[in-house]
């Protein structure tokens, strides 16, 4: 029996979310924790795990582009408009927010599936904030103040590194793509495996490989296997900010709403995290310690939703999925997110209990 493109897309999103939820919960994969570990304890193992996931995604996604299995130009990451201001401002806001909450967007969903009431409340606030920034009242400021500052790069090869660099040196982007892919992936892998301990730490290596592979699978599903010529959908992969907002809206308007890849991804991740916590016997209902803890989490979650939409993604949506497309704005947004989180951790007098 041949499956319809819609079933493939929804089923693929659900399955990818399920795998990521299981692996993410079991391994405690979290970008904010990686940043915190480096700053507070000088431990880069989680950061290297995140970098390995990026490297895996870069290689796999670019192979799909080179073989013309997918067309990355149809993604939001490679539009001709280079939203450098949004990447910087949104990234900084998101980074501050995730440091206040003590979780990246991905880990908020994971913790929610494992019964953490703090995370559930924060995830709902993040979701509402994201939808407000995309289509609501805070979106007005984004449209008026930030989007007009985007630079049109259509005449200089676009914002993808192969096209932009190719235009500068007089080479075709597709001729340069394998070289740039190899350079980016090699740089990441050299840093990851420069630590002898990391080479044999499968508790960090295995989750990174699986998570990077899921980002590859997301593009394969939305850009190839689940393509519907009559009802085209965006070519996308794993990200957790805007899909969380769409998921809340879907729950509120179920009878008139349609599920998509992102909503299925959120659902699958919650289920996977729940199963992992149930099997691992660490499902626990936690709540806020006091009013200060509550305020910190709510403000941080609001910043995450707002900043994530302005920057077009989070540490997963931009840091793994976006960077895998070799988009300049993704590199910039990821750097801004890490900068915002780093500064907040350094100057914050409190250590979040996550």
Q: Are 11 and 264 in contact (CB under 8 A)?
A: yes
Give residue 281's pLDDT: 84
Tell me, yes or no, whether 209 lies in a domain: yes
Give residue 257's pLDDT: 76
For residue range 23-76, list pLDDT tens digits in order.
999 999 999 999 999 999 999 999 999 999 999 999 999 999 999 999 999 999
Tell me, yes or no, whether 353 lies in a domain: no
Give the C-alpha separation, 333 to 90, whole Å.
7
pLDDT band at 287 (very low <50, low <70, confident <90, very high): confident
For residue range 71-90, list pLDDT tens digits in order.
999 999 999 999 999 999 99
Tell me, yes or no, whether 97 lies in a domain: yes
Tell me, yes or no, whether 149 lies in a domain: yes
Share of the chain above pLDDT 90, in %: 81
Q: Nearest Cα to 104, choosing from 345, 323, 316?
A: 316
Tell me, yes or no, whether 26 lies in a domain: yes
SS3 121: helix
Domain that holds residue 64: 5-347
If you average pLDDT over every residue of the chain, what do you get?
Answer: 93
Lowest mean pLDDT across 77-86, 184-193, 198-207, 277-286:
277-286
Give residue 230's pLDDT: 77
- Domains held by the chain: number: 1
* Contacts (Cβ under 8 Å, ≥6 apart) of 317: 105, 238, 239, 240, 241, 242, 308
Tell me, yes or no, whether 354 lies in a domain: no
pLDDT band at 353 (very low <50, low <70, confident <90, very high): low
Tell me, yes or no, whether 352 lies in a domain: no
């Amino acid at each position: 029996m041949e499956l319809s493109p819609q079933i493939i897309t929804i089923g693929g999103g659900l399955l990818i979310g399920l795998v990521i939820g299981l692996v993410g919960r079991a391994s405690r994969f979290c970008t904010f924790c990686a940043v915190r570990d480096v700053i507070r304890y000088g431990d880069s193992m989680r950061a290297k795990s995140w970098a390995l996931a990026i490297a895996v995604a870069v290689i796999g996604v670019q192979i799909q582009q080179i073989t013309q299995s997918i067309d990355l130009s149809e993604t939001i990451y490679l539009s001709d408009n280079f939203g450098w201001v949004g990447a910087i401002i949104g990234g900084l806001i998101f980074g501050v927010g995730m440091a206040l909450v003590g979780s990246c967007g991905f880990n908020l969903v994971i913790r929610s599936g494992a019964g953490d009431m703090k995370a559930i409340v924060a995830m709902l606030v993040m979701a509402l904030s994201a939808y407000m920034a995309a289509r609501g009242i805070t979106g007005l400021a984004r449209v008026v103040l930030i989007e007009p500052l985007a630079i049109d790069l259509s005449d200089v090869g676009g914002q993808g590194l192969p096209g932009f660099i190719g235009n500068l040196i007089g080479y075709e982007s597709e001729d340069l793509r394998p070289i740039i892919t190899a350079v980016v992936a090699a740089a990441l892998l050299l840093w990851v495996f420069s630590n002898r301990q990391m080479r044999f730490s499968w508790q960090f290596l295995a989750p990174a490989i699986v998570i990077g592979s899921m980002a590859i699978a997301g593009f394969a599903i939305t850009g190839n296997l689940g393509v519907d010529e009559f009802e085209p959908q965006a070519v996308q992969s794993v990200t957790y900010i805007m899909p969380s907002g769409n998921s809340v809206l879907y729950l509120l308007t179920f009878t008139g709403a349609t599920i998509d890849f992102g909503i299925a991804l959120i659902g699958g991740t919650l289920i996977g995290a729940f199963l992992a916590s149930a099997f691992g016997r660490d499902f626990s209902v936690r709540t806020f310690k006091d009013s200060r803890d509550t305020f910190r989490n709510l403000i941080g979650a609001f910043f995450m939703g707002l900043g994530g939409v302005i920057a077009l993604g989070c540490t997963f949506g931009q840091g793994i999925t976006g960077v895998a497309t070799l988009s300049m704005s993704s590199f910039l947004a990821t750097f801004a997110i890490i900068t915002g989180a780093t500064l907040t951790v350094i100057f914050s007098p409190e250590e979040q209990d996550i």
